[in-house]
Amino acid sequence: MRTFLVPVLLLGLISCGEKSPSNPDLDQRLSEGETLSLRLNPSELMEFQVSLNLDMDMDMPVMQMDQTLHMEIHQTYRPGNGDTACLLSSKLTRIVMEQKPKGLLGRAIGPSSFDSDAPEKAEGAMAMELKARFSEMINQSVNTAFGSRGNVLMQQGKTGMEKMGKGSGGPGSAEGIVYYLAQFPEAEIAPGDSWESSYLTGEGEDALTIVVNYTYLGMEEGRVVLEAVGDIPEKTVESQGNQVAVSSDFTSVLRVDPETGITMEADMEQKMHMNTQMDGSEMPSEISISLTYRLQ
């Protein structure tokens, strides 16, 4: 049973959707905001420790499971030159996963856990597979060049997640950053304004255009608050030799430093609907994912 890999594989598969209703509780906390022009423009080298957390509730025909995935990432933002406004280096320094199967079969299998800081202490029925998959990802880096609007110009490097299947995204890859980094419009924006931006990732048959609709909600504690909304129609990806049909929608709330254009916090909610073709049979499932992204 290798079900734990599926949500990690599919983190990057997003395309444009309609804007969801705004959050009334958030709206009440926001100040009125001001008209501004957002640009990604760090004026000096800036280093951050990033905490990225995923909580996943998996509902599958053969098993129900709760998973938590914690990543620690060292990020360095450098000023660019010419068309390159910013250079971002993302290095994955720690990954922790816990799985808690539920139901009769889940109780028979029991929980599993892995911490890259203590791989020898991996526990549970899937401990060896967790160790094999995740240990090779540690200290892998991705370097990304951005334009001033936050658009990805170039990427180099691997996260290790590429080996987990087509369509996989890592914490520094363009597939992954769509959840917690923003792209900005050319024109100035006022609270309530919306715009659409896209990310181009991969090459050849792996190429993917990710389109996201953003809305400027207002200001909160000196941060620009944006909402990012997307969904995907059904697509088919490969996971360990099986074909998985996936559809998904998500909403993220991003808090951006207005001076540098760097996203300091993000909160995302996502619903994924999957149908796995395995040995001639179909296995429909649903995964609810919550993500938090924090810079320190």
Model pTM greater than 0.75? Answer: yes
* Structural domains in the chain plus CATH codes: 3-295 (2.30.230)
Query: What are the angstrom distances between the C-alpha of 269 and each of 48, 56, 229, 249?
Result: 24, 10, 10, 9
- Residue-by-residue pLDDT tens, the chain, 296 positions: 333 333 333 333 322 233 333 555 555 567 667 899 999 999 999 999 999 999 999 887 667 889 999 999 999 999 999 999 999 998 999 999 998 888 777 777 889 999 999 988 999 888 888 888 788 788 888 888 999 999 888 888 765 555 443 333 444 455 567 778 899 999 999 999 999 987 766 566 666 677 889 999 999 999 999 999 977 666 777 766 778 887 778 899 999 999 999 999 999 998 888 888 877 778 888 889 999 999 99
Query: What are the angstrom distances between the C-alpha of 135 and each of 89, 157, 260?
Result: 20, 17, 34
In angstroms, the CA 269 to CA 196 distance is: 19
